[in-house]
């Protein structure tokens, strides 16, 4: 082994060598310079809204009203609900709505219609026509002429006294004008 050097490793790749250094046409990426963007302006506003609450219509039987009778006994009144909302704006644009409070500020009043259930009593019988003159207490008959019984009159009708004159003495029974006729 005299002067011969051992062969060194041989490259399995053949061809020109590739350079790993940057070329002149490549440049590092440019980063934009920071610009000051304005901060967003956030504002809020509270809004209160009132809305009507409808009333209910209710019917109830009423033993104090005659059958077939309908009567509105309580007039219906609408209620009021008040809602408060917080609205958020960012740069003047609405971004959120939040209900803060919802309150019934006036309760509705139901409209009540009463329906009669009572059977009315029959009407009282018509009074028989009275044959007594209403100008006297007791019963002085209604006739063309009435005289005191046992007196000197000629009738055709007679009354036993005494009778009190309550209106006009149409038959002249109170001769002395003291308000009592046919006195004994």
pLDDT higher than 90, residue 50 = yes
- How does the average pLDDT of the chain come out, rounded? 83
pLDDT at 36: 75
Q: Does 162 lie in the same domain as 99? A: no
Quote the domain boundaries for residue 61.
42-118
More confidently predicted of 179 and 27: 179
Does residue 12 fall inside a structural domain? no
- Asked if residue 19 has pLDDT above 50, the reply is no
Alpha helices in the chain (DSSP H): none
SS3 assignment for 98-141: EEEEEEEEECCECEEEEEEEECCCCCCCCCCCCCECCCECCCCE
pLDDT band at 145 (very low <50, low <70, confident <90, very high): very high
Residues 155 and 179 in one domain: yes
Residue 72 lies in a domain: yes
End-to-end CA distance of the chain: 196
Q: Which of 86, 118, 150 is the last residue of a domain?
A: 118
**Structural domain contains residue 144:** yes
Given this model, what pLDDT does residue 10 score?
A: 47
Instruction: State how far the Cα of 121 lies from the Cα of 66, in Å rounded to an integer.
Output: 10
Which residue among 118, 142, 169 closes a domain?
A: 118
| pLDDT 10s digits, 30-43 | 555 567 788 889 99
How does residue 17 score in pLDDT terms, banded at 50, 70 and 90? very low
Query: For the chain, how many structural domains are there in total?
Result: 2
Residue where one domain finishes, among candidates 78, 96, 118 = 118
Residue environment code for 91-128, b if the CB has 16+ CB neighbours within 10 A, otherwise e: eeeeeeeeeeeeeeeeebeebbbbebeeeeeeeeeeee
Q: Percentage of the chain surpassing pLDDT 90? A: 52
DSSP percent split of the chain into helix, strand, coil, nearest 5: 0, 40, 60
């Amino acid at each position: 082994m005299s002067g011969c050097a051992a062969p060194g490793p041989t490259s399995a790749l053949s061809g020109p060598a590739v350079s790993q250094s940057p070329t002149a046409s490549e440049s590092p990426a440019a980063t934009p310079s920071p610009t000051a963007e304005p901060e967003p302006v956030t504002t809020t506003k509270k809004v209160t809204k009132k809305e009507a609450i409808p009333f209910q219509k209710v019917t109830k039987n009423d033993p104090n009203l005659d059958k077939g009778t309908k009567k509105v006994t309580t007039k219906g009144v609408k209620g009021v609900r008040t809602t408060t909302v917080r609205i958020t704006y960012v740069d003047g644009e609405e971004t959120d709505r939040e209900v803060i409070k919802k309150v019934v500020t006036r309760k509705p009043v139901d409209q009540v219609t009463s329906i009669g259930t009572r059977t009315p009593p029959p009407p009282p019988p018509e009074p028989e026509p009275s044959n007594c003159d209403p100008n006297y207490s007791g019963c002085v008959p209604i006739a063309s002429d009435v005289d005191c019984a046992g007196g000197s009159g000629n009738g055709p009708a007679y009354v036993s006294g005494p009778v009190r004159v309550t209106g006009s003495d149409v038959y002249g029974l109170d001769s002395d004008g003291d308000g009592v006729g046919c006195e004994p």
